Amino acid sequence: MTAPTRTTGTERELLETMLDQARADLVDTVRGLSETDARRRLVLSLTTPIALIKHAAYAERMWFQRTLGRLADADCDGPLWAHGGFHVDDAETVTEVIAEFERASARARSVAAGIPLDETREHPRVGVVSLRWIYLAMTAEFARHAGHGDILREQIRAGADVSVDSPVQLS
């Protein structure tokens, strides 16, 4: 984690700063990886470094555009898939997926800008949520995924002989 750009300010400024920090930390986990390494599956799920970024773009759209902004799916800046956005097409590059996430993040900032922290929306599975809650939930999600990305990157950089076909045996 890099040092936060703001450590004092209003509640909103701190929430936005921490979310932006979590976004940046997540992107940092994939920067500099080769296209092959970014797609390397080291766990049974679809979780790969590039898929974490793709999923984060989906989460930005789902929570900020669709839920908070009440946009129709067609008005969101990208698709909202049933699989949570973990699928990355073979033709998509790391640079393109990072750019997609950064566009979705910019749109999220724009949607949230004029909405008070206490304003609420209905989410079909979670129920009533406030913008404050969305900021906290997204910060936690992106920070958690940055941790996943750090571990995957560490395994990749170490040249771990681990894949979904040869899982690590824990004793």
Q: What are phi and psi of 6, to 5 degrees?
A: -145, 135
Beta-strand runs (E) in the chain: 120-123, 127-130
DSSP code of residue 166 = B
pTM recorded for the entire structure: 0.89
pLDDT tens string, the chain, 171 residues long: the values are 666 678 899 999 999 999 999 999 999 999 999 999 999 999 998 899 999 999 999 999 999 999 999 999 889 988 776 677 888 999 999 999 999 999 999 999 999 999 999 999 999 889 999 999 999 999 999 999 999 999 999 999 888 555 555 444 433
Question: What domains lie within the chain, and their CATH numbers?
Answer: 11-157 (1.20.120.450)
Confidence at residue 140, expressed as pLDDT on a 0 to 100 scale: 98
Is the dihedral angle over the CA atoms 7, 57, 129, 73 positive or is it negative?
A: positive
Confidence at residue 54, expressed as pLDDT on a 0 to 100 scale: 95
CA–CA separation, 140 and 116 (whole Å): 20
Q: What are phi and psi of 121, to 5 degrees?
A: -140, 160
Asked if 58 contacts 171 with a C-beta cutoff of 8 angstroms, the reply is: no
Residue 47 has which token pair? Answer: 């979780």
CA–CA separation, 87 and 52 (whole Å): 10
32 by DSSP, 3-state: which?
A: coil
Asked if 44 contacts 166 with a C-beta cutoff of 8 angstroms, the reply is: no
